[in-house]
Every structure is written in C-alpha cells, then in structure tokens.
Chain A
C-alpha cells in the first residue's frame, strides 16, 4: 500500500510553513500523522502537498498554570499523559488520553493534531468541547482563536482553514467543587470507541449545581449536554441527553445500540464525576 504522490515540504521555520500552506489550497499539515497517514495509505485522502512541521523548533511545550493546560502543536499524547501537572490541573485530559489508541500510537500522535482532525469517534475533541477549551491557529494573516463550540463542523471536518496551522490547544483547569469522569466502550482495548462519555459535575456542599456530559462516537460531532436540571433522577438525565443526541447507525454499531450505551454510560460517568467532586472536597 502506498499513498498517492504529493509534494513534500519540511520547513525549518513557522513563516516558511505558513507560506507553503498558503501557496497550495490542497496542502495539509503533517504532525504526528497517526490519523492522517492511514487515510493516505488507504487513499481516502490525497493532499497535493504535505507540510511536515516536525522539524519546527519550540513547538512541543506543555504549559500548566492555575488557569489550565496549554499544549503546543508537537506535544505527543504520551508526554501529555505522563505529565503529573496536567493530571493535577485537569484530570479529565489524562483520563481520556489513556483511552487514545495504544501506547505506540500515543508516542507519535499529537494532542493538537487529534483535535483538528475532528474525528467524532476520538476522545480529545469531546474533552475539549466538554471543558469549553479552544485552539489557537495561525496563518500568514495572523493568529486566531477558535472556541471548541465553533471548531467541529462535521465528521473529520474542523473549521481550521487550509492555510492555517493549529499551534496550541487550551484545556481549562478543574474548578473548585468540580469532579470529572471518563468512560468508553470499544470492541477491543485500544480500538475506536462505539460510544464514550465524559462528565463534569460541580457540587456546593452536597448539592449539585452543575452537571454536563460529553459524548463521543454517538453523533457526527462531539456533543455536550447539560443535565443539571435532571440531577437526582438518572432516568431523567438519560432522557435529557437522548433528546439532544441523534445516534448514528454504521457498520460498527446500530443507532439503537448506541442509544443503549448512552443510557448505561451516562449514569456511570455522572455517578463517578459526582464521587470525584466529593472526594476532592474532602
């Protein structure tokens, strides 16, 4: 198997990379390549130019502050997953990363690349959506920040333009009173999930003041549902979620089976996130 021919550019500086992208509307950025190269190998994608950013300097930082986690374009999943600071400031990122493919793929794949690849079956787009994070992109025209709510346009389609490089992702920190959980069901360990869910629950004393659930591999784009009003009745929370979801039917699972997984996983992540919030308060 081999990809269709393409022009290859390996820029040594960011400006050069941006110019190469601007010069060809069919150009694509190559970072980790763990999602892109399979598409090329199977000829599901055939970009006319690949701009390999792996040689660009100073693009692999993971910066953790009280506000949140900033991950640069060349930071690999494995490095973000191994960071105790990331786990402390936003544990949902670490919980989800452990489910991203296998360790070997995580050694090469990048967090930012996974986000802008915009696969609705991937873990990180859902996490960015649920946390209300953002991605910063750059073109020859300058910098632009895209909020998670505006990033995912459809299956494998983000709102990043062809002449832009996603330079950094930002995941907001866990706030006081919040707890998180992540779970998914896959046919085999390391496979894409048939359905996955993450939750952020915020408590004040024993009372729940906010409960949100994010879903991956259910709809065409990662979807976040606020179930705060239905807290107290797991059945009601599931009803609220399903009313806002349109589970897809495909070769991997029927829509009905996905809806059933939503019922099971919603209860599970809400309980776990609630327990997590209470344990952090202690």
Chain B
C-alpha cells in the first residue's frame, strides 16, 4: 500500500512552499529533499550534534526532531535566510568568515542559526556567554576557539548594524 501523503504549506525564509509528503518526513529532510534548501545539514539525526538547527518562529530548533507535517503554522528560517536582503552575508556569517570560525563547514549552518537567535537574546555576550550559546552544537574541526571569537565578532557587527541609521528611501 502506498504511503499516505499530506499536503502541507511550509513557510521558509518568508517564502511559502506547498508540498506533498509522508508524515514521517523529518523537517530536516523536507528542507533538503522537497524544498531543495541544502544549506541545512543533517548530522546525527537524534538531536545531539546541532548541525540541522533552524529557527522556528525565531527560536533555534532541531529540524531532525520535528516532522515537516508538524511545522505548519510556523515561520522557519534556515541558513539561506540569514543573508542580507541584497544577498551579501549577514553579520553572523561575516563574523565566521573573518574569524575562521569554520573549517570543513559541516556544522556551520547550525552554529549560524543558533548564534543569530542567541545574539537577539544576548546582544553583548561575554566569552563564557558565547561558549554557553553554542554549547548545544558540536564542531569536530575547530576546537571552538575561533567559533567563540566569531560569536563575539558577530555581536560587534550586529551592534554596528543596529546603530546605523536606516537608509533613506529604502
């Protein structure tokens, strides 16, 4: 018997996607396979590594621990949604680039989403605060030193962003 498919509307990075998928399709797989948004990486698939972290209504959430059919009525933000409107890198992405906060890059999307939300709650973290912010994300390359630097740099860049007057006519 073919598996029952559900029609769901997922709102990701502000765009609505209408998809038909089985109930057991994890949100992480739906983002990658059904929507083609392969920025979200799938690591451990049981909520431990943090690579698949996306923002659900602004809050970091493991997309491997949610079914896509449960993600209706939510605003989802993936790493693709962290760029500025003109397509250039957002402050957290820019900071990871400047501080070498990644090597192989597999875990990076999870860090970027987690830190984006973390800086909203804690705009000027201490070094300990930065470590705590990324405590739920595993990186096997960097040893975290440059990631912590990146978080602190991202806080500076985001602070400059919010201090800048809005552009006229924009």
Contact = CB atoms under 8 A, between A and B. Distances in A.
A1 interface: yes
Contacts of B67: 8, 30, 33, 37, 50, 52
B23 A6 contact: yes
Contact of B29 (A2, A33, A38): A2
A108 B45 contact: no
A6 B24 contact: yes
B26 interface: yes
Interface in B19-41: 22-26, 29
A102 B135 contact: yes
A195 B136 CA distance: 20
B164 to A, nearest CB: 29
A233 B95 CA distance: 55
A34 interface: yes
B47 A37 contact: yes
B24 A107 contact: no
Interface in A1-52: 1-8, 10, 30, 33-34, 37-38, 40-42, 50, 52
A154 interface: no
Interface string B84-128: 000000000000000000000000000000100000000000000
A78 interface: yes
Contact of A33 (B6, B22, B65, B73): B65
A33 to B, nearest CB: 6
Contact of B26 (A4, A41, A50, A78): A41
Given A105-B62, A107-B60, A5 B70 contact: no
B15 interface: no
Contacts of B62: 34, 104-105, 108
A54 interface: yes
B132 to A, nearest CB: 8
Nearest to B25: A2
19 contacts: A1-B45, A2-B25, A3-B24, A6-B24, A7-B4, A8-B69, A10-B70, A10-B72, A33-B65, A37-B64, A52-B69, A52-B70, A55-B72, A101-B136, A103-B136, A104-B60, A107-B56, A108-B62, A189-B135
